[in-house]
A = this chain, B = another copy of it.
Amino acid sequence: MRTLNVALGERSYPIHIGPSLLERADLILPHLKTRRVAIVTNDVVGPLYLARLQQALQSQGVDVASVVLPDGEANKDWPTLNLIFDALLGGRCERSTTLIALGGGVVGDMGGFAAACYQRGMPFIQIPTTLLAQVDSSVGGKTAINHPLGKNMIGAFYQPKLVLADTGVLDTLPPRELAAGVAEVIKYGLIRDLPFLEWLEANLDALLVRDPEALAFAIERSCANKAEVVVADETEQGERALLNLGHTFGHAIETGMGYGQWLHGEAVAAGTMMAAELSRRLGWLTDADVVRAETLFLRAGLPVHGPVLGVERYLELMSHDKKVEAGRLRLVLLRELGRALMWGEASEGDISAAIEARCR
A116 and B154 alpha carbons, distance in the complex (Å): 9
A120 and B236 alpha carbons, distance in the complex (Å): 12
A144 and B142 alpha carbons, distance in the complex (Å): 20
Q: Which of A82-90, A97-105, A336-344 contacts B (4 or more CB under 8 A)?
A: A82-90
Beyond A120-B142, A120-B144, A144-B120, is A154–B85 a contact (Cβ under 8 Å)? yes
CB distance from A358 to the nearest CB of B (A): 30
Give the copy number. 2
Q: Which of A145-153, A174-182, A301-309 contacts B (4 or more CB under 8 A)?
A: A145-153
Beyond A89-B147, A147-B85, A147-B89, is A153–B78 a contact (Cβ under 8 Å)? no
Interface residues of A in 133-161 (CB under 8 A from B): 142-144, 147, 149-150, 153-157
Q: Is A70 an interface residue (CB 8 A)?
A: no
Contact size range, A: 20 to 34
CB pair A90 B149 closer than 8 Å: yes
CB distance from A74 to the nearest CB of B (A): 18
Q: Is A60 an interface residue (CB 8 A)?
A: no
Q: Is A118 an interface residue (CB 8 A)?
A: yes
- Cβ contacts under 8 Å, A118 to chain B: 153-154
Q: Is A121 an interface residue (CB 8 A)?
A: yes
Q: Is A20 an interface residue (CB 8 A)?
A: no
A-B contact pairs, 7 of them (CB 8 A): A78-B78, A78-B82, A86-B149, A117-B154, A120-B144, A120-B155, A121-B157
